[in-house]
Structure formats: C-alpha cells, structure tokens
C-alpha cells in the first residue's frame, strides 16, 4: 500500500527504521475510530493519530480516511507528485510521520511533546515532497513547494485555541528551518544535498527543546 511506501521513504531519508509497519495499525472507517476514542471521533479530521492508554501499556494507531487512500492509489505520489495530489499526500504523510516518529521514540524510551510531533511532521512533509519532486523532475528544484506547504495553509475551524496555536507554531518553526537548509545546501551554485540530508537526520534525532532551537537559529 501507499502508506508503507511513504514510511519506507521516511526510514531511508532519516536512516531511522522502526520495527512496526504503519499499515498494521491503520484504521480507515469512522465507526471503528468512534469505538476506539469515543464521541471525539465525530469531529476528527481525515487524519488522526490514535493513542489509547490502557494503564500498563499505551496502544498507538493511525486513522486515515479511506477516501484519501483511494485517491492516492489512483494518483500515486511516489510516481508523480503534483498539485493534483499534493494535499492528499500531505494528509497521509503527516499521519505516517506521526506514527513513525512515535514508534522510533518509544523504542528509545523518549518522551515526545505534541509540538515536537507536529514540527517533525511539517519538516517530513516538506523534505519528502522535495525529494520526490526533484527525483521525478530530473533534478529540477520545486521552487514553489515551500510557499505551498508553509504559507498557503488553513486550519480546521473546530480546532481549539491551544491546538491552533500549536499547529501555527510548528508551521512557523518548520518553515524557517526548511528555508535555512534550502539556502545553505540546495540553492547555491554548488549544491550539497548530502549535507542537507545530514542536517535533516540530526534534526530528527533532537528532542523538543533542541528542535525549536535548531529551527530558530
């Protein structure tokens, strides 16, 4: 499935494989989501990480609306990523990023804040989309991508004030970090994509506070 390919791409990009396959933890219908998390499922977006605390252990899963998956199956972004499937790609990639980063962190007994999770997902969306588009376009740099992902954004009206602030802060930090890496390693006359990947991998391994420091440096 497309989600497995997305997870494999993140694992390669960050040299960060995990033992769990996102497709084994996938929920695609709202009735099942409702059974897992209750009435809040009614207001859920097309993507939501599921965390169920069962006392002695925590169960993690991913809800992704089946219609999003169906559209991506018809217009596979790993073959061609463009304006027609970019929004669905970002929806799915955000969920895969959340799951992958949580699995990687739990395996290392690392705590993860909600802001850290959203910040990493925003960086993942940009870095993975840039990688795909550059490969698919024969090395041509997708100059409009940063604007599309970080400035042409909107948020669900049902979001509470705290959640909205968190999304906005993550977007702002990720935008600054990704632009900085672009200018240092991708846009100059002598491009150094290997250094770009090295900085992405270092960022991935940072904790909450260090991620924010890296983003605003």
DSSP 7-63: HHHHHHHHT---S--GGGGEE--HHHHHHHHGGGGGG--SEEEEEEE-SS-EEEEEE
- What is the structure's pLDDT at 6? 97
Q: Which pLDDT band holds residue 38 (cuts at 50, 70, 90)?
A: confident
Q: What is d(CA 8, CA 23) in angstroms, rounded to the nearest whole number?
A: 12
Q: What is d(CA 149, CA 121) in angstroms, rounded to the nearest whole number?
A: 12
Q: Where does 2-116 show beta strands of DSSP type E? A: 26-27, 47-53, 58-64
Q: What is d(CA 163, CA 165) in angstroms, rounded to the nearest whole number?
A: 5
Is the model's pLDDT at 188 over the cut of 70? no
Top-confidence range, 129-138, 182-191, 205-214: 129-138
- What is the structure's pLDDT at 63? 92
- What is the structure's pLDDT at 56? 65
Q: How many domains does the chain have?
A: 1
Q: What is d(CA 197, CA 203) in angstroms, rounded to the nearest whole number?
A: 10
Is the model's pLDDT at 167 over the cut of 70? yes
| Residues in the chain, total | 217
Determine contact, residues 186/146, Cβ cutoff 8 Å.
no
Is the model's pLDDT at 195 over the cut of 90? yes
Domain that holds residue 46: 2-216
- What is the structure's pLDDT at 29? 86
pLDDT, average across residues 193-217: 91
pLDDT, average across residues 58-68: 88
- What is the structure's pLDDT at 34? 82
pLDDT, average across residues 141-160: 87
Closest to 24 measured CA to CA, from 57, 61, 50? 61
**Alpha helices, DSSP H, located in 111-160:** 114-136, 145-150
Report the chain's terminal Cα–Cα distance, integer Å.
38
Is the model's pLDDT at 70 over the cut of 80? yes
- What is the structure's pLDDT at 55? 64
Is the model's pLDDT at 17 over the cut of 70? yes
CA 4 remoteness from chain centre: 14
């Amino acid at each position: 499935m497309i989600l497995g390919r997305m997870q494999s791409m993140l694992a390669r990009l960050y040299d960060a494989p995990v033992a769990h396959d996102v497709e084994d933890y996938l929920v695609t219908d709202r009735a099942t989501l409702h059974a897992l998390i209750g009435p809040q499922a009614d207001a859920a977006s097309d993507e939501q990480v599921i965390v169920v605390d069962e006392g002695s252990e925590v169960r993690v899963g991913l809800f992704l609306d089946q219609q999003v998956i169906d559209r991506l199956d018809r217009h596979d972004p790993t073959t061609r990523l463009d304006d027609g499937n970019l929004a669905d790609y970002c929806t799915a990639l955000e969920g895969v990023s959340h799951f992958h980063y949580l699995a990687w962190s739990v395996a290392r007994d690392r705590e993860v804040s909600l802001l850290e999770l959203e910040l990493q997902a925003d960086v993942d969306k940009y870095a993975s989309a840039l990688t795909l588009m550059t490969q698919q376009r024969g090395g041509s740099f997708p100059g409009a991508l940063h604007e599309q992902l970080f400035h042409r954004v909107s948020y669900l009206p049902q979001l509470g004030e705290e959640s909205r602030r968190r999304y906005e802060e993550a977007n702002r930090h990720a935008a600054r970090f990704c632009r900085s890496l672009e200018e240092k390693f991708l846009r100059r006359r002598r491009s150094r994509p290997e250094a770009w990947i090295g900085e992405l991998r270092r960022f991935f391994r940072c904790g909450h506070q260090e991620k924010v420091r890296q983003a605003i440096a």
